[in-house]
């Protein structure tokens, strides 16, 4: 089977990719549209895991076993308290995200998993962090804000393509290997933890899932015509 890249190029691939794609679409988790800011009220170590006690405007609507994106990391609600909820991050998640540097008072962008019949207002986000990026540039642009980020991931960004940063669906530009920029409108700046970013701040990056599949197909293909 072939994907036609242009009128001269065809890329062969295994038909199992179609099955994977169908599974992907049926397991959409998030859209990258932040619902609320959560505040870390307490952290407790449990072996190599960490329990996060989070207060937020949506905590009272959550239930145990519910999936919620915390700064772009899909975590399961394991407990509830008066004004908040509790989630647990395992050692692997802590190492591969900026959750490891969280402390009391840290703000987290929160989004509940989407319903099957919901509109996809952002883009397909799984809640699986690919890399930790670093904020390398901040400029105010007459009310909006331009942020530049660097990363060491082999994943790529595409000019005017989608990127998820700390759980926020954004459009990237000045896309180059290991770096890109995004522009934040005032509403997003004021309603997410982007307003607390500083130069050198670590952020969670999840690259576009469709782009990752295409990149893998191209890298594994042995037929280019």
What pLDDT does residue 205 have?
96
CATH number reported for the structural domain that contains residue 82 in this entry: 2.40.30.20
> What average pLDDT score do residues 111-115 get?
83
pLDDT in tens, 118-175: 666 667 778 889 999 999 999 998 889 999 999 998 887 888 989 999 999 999 999 9
Q: Is 73 helix (H, G, I), strand (E, B) or coil?
A: strand
- Chain segment 48-83, per-residue pLDDT in tens: 999 999 999 999 999 999 999 999 999 999 999 999
State the Cα–Cα distance between residues 179 and 10, nearest whole angstrom. 29
pLDDT value of position 136:
97
Q: Domain range for residue 90?
A: 36-112
Confirm whether 104 is domain-assigned: yes
In a domain, 198, yes or no: no
pLDDT for position 32? 86
Number of domains within the chain: 1
Model-level pTM? Answer: 0.81
Q: Does 12 fall in a domain?
A: no
Residue 204, φ and ψ in degrees, nearest 5: -85, 130
- Cα gap 208→219, rounded to integer Å: 16
DSSP state of 98: G
Q: Which helix (H) or strand (E) holds 215?
A: helix 209-220
The verdict on residue 133 lying in a domain is no
Kindly state whether residue 150 falls inside one of the protein's structural domains. no
Q: Is residue 163 part of a domain?
A: no
Give residue 6's pLDDT: 43
């Amino acid at each position: 089977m072939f994907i036609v890249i242009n009128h001269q190029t065809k890329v062969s691939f295994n038909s199992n990719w179609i099955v994977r794609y169908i599974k992907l679409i049926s397991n959409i988790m998030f859209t990258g549209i932040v619902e609320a800011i959560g505040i870390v009220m307490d952290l407790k170590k449990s072996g190599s895991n960490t329990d996060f006690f989070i207060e937020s405007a949506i905590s009272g609507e959550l239930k145990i076993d519910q999936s919620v994106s915390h700064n772009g990391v899909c975590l399961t609600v394991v407990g509830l308290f008066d004004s908040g909820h509790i989630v647990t991050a395992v050692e692997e998640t802590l190492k591969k995200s900026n959750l490891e540097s969280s402390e009391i008072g840290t703000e987290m962008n929160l989004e509940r998993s989407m319903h099957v019949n919901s509109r996809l207002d952002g883009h397909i986000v799984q809640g699986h962090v690919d890399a930790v990026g670093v904020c390398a540039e901040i400029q105010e642009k007459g009310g909006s804000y331009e942020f530049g980020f660097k990363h060491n991931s082999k994943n790529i960004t595409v000019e005017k393509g989608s990127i998820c940063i700390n759980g926020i669906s954004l459009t990237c530009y000045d896309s180059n290997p290991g770096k890109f920029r995004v522009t934040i409108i005032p509403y997003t700046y004021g309603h997410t933890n982007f307003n607390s970013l500083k130069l050198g701040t670590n952020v969670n990056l999840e690259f576009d899932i469709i782009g990752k599949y295409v990149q893998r197909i191209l890298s594994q293909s042995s037929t280019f015509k």
